[in-house]
Amino acid sequence: MRFLKIYVKEEHRIKGLEPEAYPEIPDVALREAIVNAVAHRDYTISAPIRVFVFNDRIEFHTPGKLPNTVTIDSMKVGGAHVLRNPTIYNLLLKMGLVTDIGSGVKRIIEVIRKNLNKEVDLFETENEFVLTIPRA
């Protein structure tokens, strides 16, 4: 998260006596994208999770194709419930970083729509899943 916080702009507004920070991309969306990449990547592929920061978007490239019956459409509605890495998921659960199985992408989509009025882009390449979050 610290890496991304360097590149995500924040607007500060005075509310009451203290200024409040409003990041261009909500922290919850960035956290979910990172946690999903760690929890759901294909660890049989020796490629790293990659994050690319562009002027108009941030891309999260996760090694591996979507597992089993999971589709991009099912992820958008929170209907994807396949645990590729149960040990890692359970560790993230104990750390308080995950909640419901299969709800992360739906949460990202909802947060970005609500806060930025923009759409998240999801697609697969031959060897990876890519989630793109637009910038404000």
What residue spans define the domains of the chain?
Answer: 24-134
Given a cut of 80, is residue 105 above it in pLDDT? yes
At residue 112, what are phi and psi to the nearest 5 degrees?
-70, -40
Which pLDDT does position 13 carry in this prediction?
77
- Give residue-wise pLDDT tens across range 68-95: 788 888 888 877 777 888 898 889 989 9
SS3 assignment, position 20? strand
Kindly report whether the global pTM for this prediction surpasses the value 0.75: yes
Average pLDDT, integer, range 89-109: 85
Given a cut of 70, is residue 126 above it in pLDDT? yes
How is residue 84 annotated by DSSP?
S
Cβ atoms 63, 49 nearer than 8 A: yes
Which pLDDT does position 102 carry in this prediction?
67
- Give residue-wise pLDDT tens across range 5-15: 787 887 777 77
How is residue 48 annotated by DSSP?
P
Please provide the CATH number assigned to the domain covering 24-134: 3.30.565.60
Cβ atoms 83, 101 nearer than 8 A: yes
Q: Which residues of 105-128 are buried (b: 16+ CB within 10 A; e: fewer)?
A: bbbbbebbeebbeeebebeeeeeb
Give 20 or 115, the one with higher predicted confidence: 115
Q: How far apart are CA 107 and CA 105, in angstroms?
A: 5
Residue 3 corresponds to which tokens in the numbers above? 């890496």
Which pLDDT does position 124 carry in this prediction?
94
